[in-house]
Structure 1
Amino acid sequence: MSIATRGPVRVVGTGLLGASVGLGLRRHGVEVQLADPSRTALALARDVGAGTPAGPDDPEPALVVVAAPPDVTADVVRAELVAHPTAVVTDVASVKGYVLAELRGARADLRRYVGSHPMAGRERSGPSAAVPDLFLGRPWVIADSGVSHPDAVLAVRALAVDLGALPVAMDAAEHDAAVASVSHLPQLAASLVAARLRDLDDAALGLAGPGVRDVTRIAASDPALWTSILAANALAVRSVLVEVRSDLDGVIAALTDAALATGPEDVAPGALSTIARAISAGNAGVARIPGKHGGAQRAYSVVSVLVPDSPGELARLLGDVGAAGVNLEDLQIEHAAGRPVGVAEISVLPGSAEHLHAELTARGWRVVR
């Protein structure tokens, strides 16, 4: 496949994002020069195929991608702009306003700088977690400096497209306000909920189901990285948290009224409706999350099937779903505690559910109503 990005591309920072950028570009044959203050991370990124460690005799890069924590991103970008006066420089930090303000204060050459942020990641970090398809189908925010040269913006946009991402133009403040709600708040919420599990006894944890796993999935993230991110976007995150605190205070007050009541009829007027409104507001928010292929969410029916925890069983189930002529819209698997079996929850269009239920039953699967 022909791509627009031309090398050499210099990647500074060989963690998950930087190494994944390198892997994606190397797949297309682009020369990638790697730099990292950690010699161990640099060697590992080289070994996984993300590029070659930069050397003094390397040709000048056409593009520099800075993949450093937000608290040092501006310093690294400024140094790269000075060291490579003909290169376009971008960064992939998850906070844009803080970086841009620092660069303006340092009088950096903002004509060759374009901020960017791929909305992609994993719970794991480091070059060993990098994959060339990390950005495939994901939004990649392009936040120019306000004076960025059009060719510089085009170069960063081409990088995003060549790595399979979907470029989205936003200014730095708009980006930071958006990620405060869709990325930074979920991380904090997951961490706070997961922290409640630390002191639970084993019997209580044995009751954990898909709900707690869904809510806490991202709570295993890197504390040092997320401290840097949240501190850099402190104002926007604080604003969202204040709104959440207001809602939470209302629910706590309503639950206090319910706890003090001797029966449902004695609950203070409005308390139960406060709880209901909180749940309903969540319904409305979930309904706005883009659905499959970025379109509006659709309602699916779920067919639940018991799957033995043995090699090949899940593949056999998926094959039988295809043989039934039903398109699988989504799939989740929940393992039964203490039993060598899981429950596969197959989401399909509502009109296909009964047909799939009958077909899988006929093929010997135990379908759970």
Structure 2
Amino acid sequence: MQSSPVAGNRSHPLRAAVVGLGLIGGSLLRALAAGGHDVTGFDADPRTRELARAAGHRVADSVTDAVRGAEVTALAVPLQFLPQVLPQLAGHDGLVTDVTSVKGPVRELAAAHGLRRFVGGHPMAGKETSGFAASDPDLFSGCAWVLCLEPETDLGDWLALARLYTELGARVVPVTAVEHDTAVAQISHVPHLFAAALAGQLAGHPLAAALAAGSFRDGTRVAATRAELIAAMCGGNVDAVRGELRSLIGVLREMSDLLDSDDPVTALVPALRTAGDLRRSWPATPGEAEELTASVGSLLELGRSGGWVTAVHDGEVLAMRPGSDRKAS
């Protein structure tokens, strides 16, 4: 295992920086502060900086000032703004991570800008509202937080972040950037596009809008997310999103074909029953806790099996895998 200045027991609060104070960055700033860490924030928007200061947080007036001396820096800016932020980290010796919803392009940017120590990350947490005013220090409690393990990743740095985020209440999931981008296209990015298509059914149909209830509300909730955010995450993950969107369209076409059968009710039942069983069995119940060898191979195998890290202490990794005792009904 490679060493890290922030690995091992934390004998003092970490010096941390959060660049970008929207929903995720603002929540991380607040969560780190609540956890006793010495954290400084920065946001390009002066009004956001003032909001964070008014909430009692230390906020710098530049990226350079925010990250000076930081042991851990979290980049919480949209993908399209990372090329403007990364040059300001030139020569920075601290551990850098991010919270961007697509990981392949961020990995490439980090390499292109010569970041010395970088671990890609993505907390699977959010709301349909945005901005620092919507931030919540408890946002990450119980959420899955992806931390990427690549050939160039320093394992000590990875473990340090895993420990930090599990202390915030998150379940840390180790995967590669490619695996992450495919998975989030399936369960986040394409669902946002599908929700937008469903919400579009309201246009010019006032009766439908008057009758819409629970199924419409639940199926379209994320369509209320800012359009720029949805476009950025889907456009930044275009290859995976295109492939998964075409796959979903294929499934819908199959359902359309079932409706054309002589007995559409009977024809639809098997597909709908399978989908129902899958939904009722999600989320998976936790299985038995286990102690895991801290190696890239064992950690990636854990993530690929749907498992997660629950705690890290002195290099000891405690993990959980999905249980198999839940019965579909």
Q: TM-score, normalised by structure 2?
A: 0.77
Partner SS, residue 180 of structure 2: helix
Aligned 8 A contact 1:67 1:73 in 2: no
1:365 paired residue number = none
Cα deviation, residue 150, structure 1: 2.6
Q: Give deviations 1:306-361, integer Å, cap 9, x for gaps.
A: xxxxxxxxxxxxxxxxxxxxxxxxxxxxxxxxxxxxxxxxxxxxxxxxxxxxxxxx
Aligned 8 A contact 1:90 1:115 in 2: yes
2:70 paired residue number = 61
Aligned 8 A contact 1:251 1:274 in 2: no
Aligned 8 A contact 2:75 2:99 in 1: yes
Q: Give deviations 1:99-122, integer Å, cap 9, x for gaps.
A: 112333x1513x510001111001
1:233 paired residue number = 237
Q: Give deviations 1:262-320, integer Å, cap 9, x for gaps.
A: xxxxxx457555533442342243144215667565679xxxxxxxxxxxxxxxxxxxx
2:42 paired residue number = 35
Q: Give deviations 1:185-229, integer Å, cap 9, x for gaps.
A: 22111111111013221x433322211111112211011011010
Partner SS, residue 202 of structure 2: coil
Cα deviation, residue 128, structure 1: 0.2
Q: Give deviations 1:78-135, integer Å, cap 9, x for gaps.
A: 3354152x2100001010011112333x1513x5100011110011100000010000
1:157 paired residue number = 162
**Larger gyration radius, structure 1 or structure 2:** 1
| Superposed counterparts of 1:112-127, under 5 Å | 112-127=117-132
Equivalent position amino acid for 1:35 in 2: F
Cα deviation, residue 8, structure 1: 2.0
Aligned 8 A contact 1:230 1:237 in 2: yes
Unaligned runs of 5+ in 1: 258-267, 301-369
C-alpha distance in 1, partners of 2:165/2:227?
27
Q: Assess, with a 3 A threshold, how the Cα gap between structure 1 residues 41 and 116 changes in structure 2: closer, same or farther.
A: same
C-alpha RMSD of matched pairs (Å): 2.6
1:199 paired residue number = 204
45, 52, 56: which one pairs with 2:52?
A: 45
C-alpha distance in 1, partners of 2:65/2:76?
23
C-alpha distance in 2, partners of 1:287/1:54?
48
- RCO higher in structure (CA 8 A, sep ≥6): 2
Unaligned runs of 5+ in 2: 1-8, 287-321
Aligned 8 A contact 1:13 1:34 in 2: yes
2:105 paired residue number = 98
Q: TM-score, normalised by structure 1?
A: 0.69
C-alpha distance in 2, partners of 1:131/1:147?
33
Query: Among the aligned pairs, what percent are the same residue?
Result: 33
Aligned 8 A contact 2:17 2:39 in 1: yes
C-alpha distance in 2, partners of 1:5/1:196?
54
C-alpha distance in 1, partners of 2:200/2:50?
35
218, 224, 230: which one pairs with 1:220?
A: 224
C-alpha distance in 1, partners of 2:284/2:149?
28
